[in-house]
A and B are shown apart, each in its own frame.
Chain A
């Protein structure tokens, strides 16, 4: 099973700042089969990024993804108030799909 480790656990930033989330895999994720999701309290997760760097439909261009192999990054270029939430990475390169433990983005 591929273990995904996200860092930091919590990110404290202000609106307008840049947020950078890290997701590190215990082994190489084939063909960059990595996705990112946003989850707000009481809501289901929402897909942001797939294939490591492709924005899902309707996702603003302030969200971007990068990386390959074992190291992946989600960047929010300028934080909006609605971006404060929990973010998860997920790998889908193996039959046992796995998620990272999540990074909480909170308002500073």
Chain B
């Protein structure tokens, strides 16, 4: 079955960088758009970024544009989120999620279990 497993979260100081990974299995990874969605503690869901099936197009939320970079390695079934210039407001559980098509628009199904990023000095 489809499985998504995030890793790389932790505690990081403001202004520093962190890279999240999402290991995918159970489907043809190279055929689907992939997303990152985050959820601050006790808050709602916020879409962060999407990368289409071949990595040629990427879209970002305004809140992370210019600081975060989404990428993928189709040969290793892995999605990444490189986060730089981190701010306390980036503190959240970060989920990766599979899109329903190869492109950027779509619903998210399934989701990984999430990885917690805490930005604090």
Chain A residues in the interface with B (C-beta under 8 A): 1, 33, 35, 37, 39, 44-47, 50, 56, 88, 90, 92-102
Chain B interfacial positions (CB closer than 8 Å to A): 44-47, 50, 59, 61-62, 95, 100, 104-114
- Does A88 contact B112, Cβ atoms closer than 8 Å? no
Contacts of B109 in A (CB 8 A): 47, 50, 56
Which residue of B is nearest A100, CB measured?
Answer: B44
Alpha-carbon distance A75/B46, docked complex (angstroms): 23
* Residue in chain B with minimal CB distance to A31: B105
How far does the alpha carbon of A90 sit from the alpha carbon of B108 in the complex, in Å? 10
State the CA gap A65–B21 with chains docked (Å): 34
Q: How many A-B residue pairs have CB under 8 A?
A: 57
B95 near A44 with CB under 8 A, answer yes
Bound form: Cα–Cα A28–B65 in Å: 25
Residues in B neighbouring A94, C-beta threshold 8 A = 105
What separation, in Å, do the CA atoms of A102 and B107 have in the docked complex? 16
Partner of B105, one of A39, A92, A98: A92
In the complex, how many angstroms separate the beta carbon of A93 from the nearest chain B beta carbon?
7
Chain B min CB distance to A50 (Å): 4
Q: Known contacts A33-B105, A95-B104: does B111 contact A88 (CB below 8 Å)?
A: no
Contact assessment for B110 and A47 in the assembled complex, using a CB-CB cutoff below 8 Å: yes
B37 to A: closest C-beta gap in Å: 8
CB distance from B20 to the nearest CB of A (A): 15
